[in-house]
Amino acid sequence: MYFHSLQFLAFLVVSFALYWAVHRSKAARLGVLLLASLAFYAAWSPFPILIFVWCAVVDFLAVKGMARWRRPGVRKLLLAVSVVSDIGVLCTFKYADLFYSSAAWLLGHLGVEVRYEPLGLLLPIGLSFVTFQAVSLVVDVYRGQLEPTHNFWEHLLFLLFFPQVVAGPIVRAKDLLSRFGDKPVLDADTGARALYRIATGIAKKLLIADLIAAGLVDRVFADPTLYSSAECLMATLGYTLQLYFDFSAYSDIAIGSAALFGFPLPENFNKPYLARNLFEFWNRWHISLSSWLRDYVYIPLGGNRRSRPRVLLNLMIVMTVGGLWHGADWRFALWGAIHGVGLVVIRSYWWLIGGRPKQHTLLGSAVGIVSTFAIVVFTRIVFRASDLTMARVMVERLLDFSPGLANVSVPVWIAMGVAFVCHYLPHRAYSLSADLFARLPVPVRATALVALGLAIRKVGMVEVRPYIYFQF
């Protein structure tokens, strides 16, 4: 049930109506949300729900145990059991084949013959998001940042809340679980803005991301040797735009859908391609993942409090882990490690000049934005290519410097141009358009949404494409 499908919109309407019909009763409204979340996930595949229930049971018993027993040793043991359970589930269903095949390859090179056969384990959709969210809850309780006053069904709903279960944002307990007890409120203005956010996400997905993908990116990355260097460069640039508009579209729909039920989810993007360096980029891109890695990996490793060599090592570890989180393939780890090297170089340069610049000139900002964007674009070759061999072929084709853009169609040019304009418009422009939509009479709003739907049907892709981050 894709977010940009009519089935999801119908599902959302039914869930919305049932929720607000019983919203005065906490048990009833949360029961509606839990049943809706279970039904939403079961529409993809029901079996993984048992995996998530297992995680919820172990984590719930752990946090309740921490509340009952205050001895540090017991609390550490409960934390360890919970985290090992969550990460163990993630490693088993997502990385077991990768580790197995890598071990077989390594042993083969050492003279030990191992016959590798894929395990073929089911990869539950959204597993990476759910497990990271589960770990954050348990760690927050252990740190004393959250009191575990919730019941098991609330715990399970926190993990499976349908607007964001499949591809985030990775929500903290303070932003969702702690709000379950609050009486929900939805005024006309908030509802209108939520609908506008959902409509914006659908348009970004179908009119920009999918059009660029089908019109250029997929064909070029399938076989770069058939295209000129200029077309390969356009495809690489196009994928950078596709990835942002695809993933931010999902986040828009997730945030808008959650708002309809009275839950404000945190933003996940902040115009990342305006970043002046890689540190700033990761503070703007997939914010929920970046902040998770900072709070639950980087800081426990020592963060900035250790020696300079250790700080640089921490950066490399975090970025490599963050890269591997994106998929069970070593090219993702390589992609993360390349970003780690970039962060190490920047941090070392700041130490050399006496700290991060407190002010940026217009020229310095322009140079920083262009260079950071260039790094992001070209590292995405490793991210998008089917394997490292194809990534090498793509790079070689780019370095061939052959001209020609005959395979870049007019719709692709338009979509990429609109993408650049939409991304670089100030936040104020979006706020003003949302304000205008919220002030329109209801019939006019309905007409605008219908017109958007007709435009999508006319211009958008006939083929339904899954969101890119579903695979992660």
Mind telling me the catalytic residues?
326
Q: How many CA atoms lie within 13 A of 163 on its CB side?
A: 29
**Closest-CA residue to 363 (of 302, 236, 240, 276):** 276
What does 310-362 look like in DSSP terms, one character per residue?
Answer: HHHHHHHHHHHHHHHHT-SSHHHHHHHHHHHHHHHHHHHHHHHHTSS-S---H
Query: Which amino acid would we find at residue 1?
Result: M
Let me know: does 140 contact 173? Beta carbons within 8 Å.
yes
Cα(212)–Cα(241) distance, rounded to whole angstroms?
A: 8
Number of other residues whose CB lies within 10 A of the CB of residue 254:
26
Residue with tokens 């019939």: 443
DSSP category for residue 297:
I
**Closest-CA residue to 162 (of 1, 327, 54, 50):** 1
Number of other residues whose CB lies within 10 A of the CB of residue 289:
22
Number of other residues whose CB lies within 10 A of the CB of residue 27:
10
Cα(50)–Cα(354) distance, rounded to whole angstroms?
A: 53
Cα(396)–Cα(400) distance, rounded to whole angstroms?
A: 6
Query: Is the C-alpha dihedral spanning 29, 35, 41, 44 positive or negative?
Result: negative
Measure the CA angle with vertex 241, ends 237 and 247; round to 5°: 145
